Amino acid sequence: MTNPHLAPLREAMASLERAWGDAESAAHLTRPQLLEVNAAVGVLRRRLDGVHAEVAAGIAHESRPELGAGSLAKEQGFRSPAVMIAATTGASTGDAARLVTVGEATAPRANLLGEPLPAKYPFVQAALSQGSLGAAAAAHIVALLDRTRLRAPADRIAQAERLLVERAEGLSLDEVRKLIARAEGWLVPEAVAAREEDSRSRRSLTMFERDGSFHLNLQTDAASGAPIRAAIQSFVTASFQARAGAPDRDAPDADHRTVAMIQADALANICEHAIGCDNGGLPATGATVVVRVSLDDLDKGTGLAEIDGVDTPVSVATCRRMAAGGAVIPAVLGSESEILDWGREKRLFTRAQRLALVERDGGCAMCGLPPQMTKAHHLRWWLRDSGPTDLTNGVLLCESCHHRIHDNGWEIRIDGTGTRGRVWFIPPPAVDPTRTPRLGGRARYDIAA
């Protein structure tokens, strides 16, 4: 008799077998098969994560401290369930401990009378069992909810759990971390200022010379690091643009530096020369920091602000302090002092329009690269299609995504107007036969949207 609890796992394995077909190895799979197999492996892995999290919770229960020498882990010669699981799977002890935490947070519970209760985080539990959420992403969500549940109302924690699970589907782990950073500011705004102060109290810069090399290690808060990041990124972008325009990129004297090398050269050049260049009215493409905040929050001194290129929100107090700096542009939202839509009076997007596009898209609307590495593109071309130069016909894209969209037949749709509009990327039939739109831009990570 088969175990019905493992039915989703068997179903995922069957899907993988169907996708693989009769091919002897992955090298013999066609492109459609590779895509199908990759998707099936993803579902199988996530469903296996769900089963493993349950098992990890069971091992932890049988290894609880009060059992003493009778602990399952200690009987097997391990000091903790996490060490035991790590040794079995080849994972790190930290990853195993996080798996235990996820398992315990999604396991069935009972009250003092033995009556069944739902899991501590039912939305995470459902997503794990359905194979839409992996253990690593679930661990980040559970960690956030655990550290904020005593500082935020229960209904807000439940809402955050639901939204995070919904938004995390289809995201990479790096993107989930970005989502978590936004969500924490939304859940516990007052904690942002405390975290900033803690980061500032731990700021340090150490320098030493050894074996003919100069070593530098910098740690600072996000706000203080934003101008450093912006200046270095502008240098890197300019270097890659110059490399792309070189007549012979294979010549012996061509620029073959890695990104890390260019960043090191950028810091050296910045320290040698003061940065004071005029970027032709496009502050978001040069060594400039844009801090955006709502007019209401700025007036009240409450709420949060965001720095372009930085995942973690900052307090309004930090925003005000940064706005007093020379190379920082405060983008106050909700004011009607700027004309954001110019129709066809101008072919190029204005400074105000680009700032508005950065507010809406957050950077490359497709892949998330920071604003400094993007350009504003017309959806309907200005000359060929008589497309207007306004926000509903503009989108920020990096060069790679711009070419990918044009070369592979993607379409872009913008719903809504102004900075609250949403950018949707519609894949070609070869990528997705159903052509299901995929949310892009800043809204993809906006937990409060």
Alpha helices in 374-426 (DSSP H): 399-408
Residue 97 falls within a domain, yes or no? yes
Mean pLDDT, residues 336-354: 50
Token representation of residue 22: 């009769």
Provide the pLDDT confidence category of residue 139 given band limits of 50, 70 and 90.
Answer: very high
Contacts with 177 (C-beta within 8 Å, 6 or more apart), sequence order = 140, 311
Task: State how far the alpha carbon of 146 is from the alpha carbons of 11, 104, 121, 149, in Å.
Answer: 32, 12, 10, 6
Confidence of residue 342 (pLDDT cuts 50, 70, 90): very low
Domain match, 271 and 366 both? no
Main-chain phi, psi angles of 213, to 5 degrees = -120, 145
Give the whole-angstrom CA distance, residue 145 versus residue 180.
Answer: 10
Query: Is the per-residue pLDDT at 134 higher than 70?
Result: yes
Averaging pLDDT over each range in 1-15, 286-300, 430-444, which range is the top one? 430-444
The last residue of one of the domains, among 308, 337, 366, is 337
In tens, the pLDDT along 99-129 reads: 999 999 999 887 777 788 888 999 999 999 8
Percent of the chain with pLDDT over 90: 30
Give Cβ neighbours of residue 440 (< 8 Å, ≥ 6 apart): 361, 365, 366, 423, 424, 425
- How far is the CA of 310 from the CAs of 261, 291, 391, 406, in angstroms? 22, 10, 23, 29
Measuring CA to CA, which residue among 386, 390, 351, 385 is closest to residue 371? 351
Q: Does residue 228 lie within any of the structural domains?
A: yes
Does residue 277 have a pLDDT over 50? no
Residue 368's pLDDT band (boundaries 50, 70, 90)?
confident
Residues 208, 157 share a domain: no
Cα–Cα nearest to 182, from 196, 170, 192, 169:
192
Select from 151, 170, 188 the last residue of a domain: 188
Residue 207 one-letter amino acid? M
Residues 158, 206 within the same domain = no
Percent of the chain with pLDDT over 70: 83
What pLDDT, on a 0 to 100 scale, did the predictor assign at position 292? 73
The DSSP symbol for 285 reads G
The pLDDT tens digits for 220-274 are: 988 888 888 888 888 888 887 777 766 666 666 677 788 888 898 888 777 765 4
Q: Among all chains, which residue has been given the structure tokens 């940065």? A: 275
Question: How does residue 194 score in pLDDT terms, banded at 50, 70 and 90?
Answer: confident
Residue 341's pLDDT is 39
Higher-scoring residue by pLDDT: 209, 169:
169
- HSE toward the beta carbon, residue 44, CA cutoff 13 A: 15
pLDDT at 285 over 50: no
On whether both 16 and 31 belong to a single domain, the answer is: yes
* 30 in the same domain as 86: yes
For 411, the domain range is: 351-444
d(CA 436, CA 422): 15
| Residue 433 amino acid letter | P
Give the pLDDT band (50/70/90) at residue 402: confident
Token reading at 154 = 């229960």
> Is residue 248 in a domain?
no
Look at residue 344 and tell me if it is in a domain. no
* 383 falls within a domain: yes
Per-residue pLDDT, 449: 45
Q: Average model confidence (pLDDT) for the chain?
A: 81
Residues 172 and 59 in one domain: yes
User: H/E element holding 413?
Assistant: strand 411-415
Asked whether the beta carbons of 389 and 398 are under 8 A apart, the reply is no
Q: Do the domain assignments include residue 219?
A: yes
Tokens 């997705």 belong to which residue?
A: 432
Question: Could you tell me if 111 and 10 lie in one domain?
Answer: yes
- pLDDT, position 387: 57
Per-residue pLDDT tens over the stretch 29-73: 999 899 999 999 999 999 999 999 999 999 999 999 999 889 999
Domain shared by 296 and 386, yes or no? no
Buried b (16+ CB within 10 A) or exposed e, 77-97: ebebbbbbbbeeeeeeeebbb
- CA atoms of 375 and 383, how far apart (whole Å): 18
**Residues shown for the chain:** 449
Question: In DSSP terms, which residues pair with 204 in a beta bridge?
Answer: 219
> What's residue 253's pLDDT?
61
| Residue 180 exposed, middle or buried by CB count within 10 Å (0-12, 13-18, 19+) | buried
Identify whether residues 96 and 177 lie together within a single domain: yes
Residues 62 and 161 in one domain: yes
In a domain, 343, yes or no: no
Packing angle of the helix pair 93-106, 81-89 (nearest 10 deg): 110
| Collapsed DSSP state (helix, strand, coil) of residue 59 | helix
Note whether 33 and 15 are same-domain residues. Answer: yes
Tokens matching residue 153: 């109302």
Who has greater pLDDT, 246 or 26?
Answer: 26
Residues 17 and 154 occupy one common structural domain? yes
Residue pair 362/325 in contact (Cβ under 8 Å)? The answer is no
Minimum mean pLDDT range among 47-61, 145-159, 368-382, 411-425: 368-382
Instruction: Please report the pLDDT score of residue 109 as a whole number.
Output: 83
pLDDT of res. 233: 84
Q: Which SS3 state, helix, strand or coil, does residue 57 take?
A: helix
CA dihedral 112, 118, 122, 126 (to 10 degrees): 130
Q: Does position 327 have pLDDT exceeding 90, yes or no?
A: no
- In this structure, are strands 116-117 and 109-110 parallel, antiparallel, or unpaired? antiparallel
Number of domains forming the structure of the chain: 3
Q: How many C-alpha atoms does 37 have within 13 Å on its Cβ side? A: 16
- What is the enclosing helix (H) or strand (E) of 360? helix 351-361
- Evaluate whether residue 249 is within a structural domain: no
- Which has more confidence, 387 or 192? 192
pLDDT digits (tens, 9 = 90+) for 80-96: 999 999 999 998 999 99
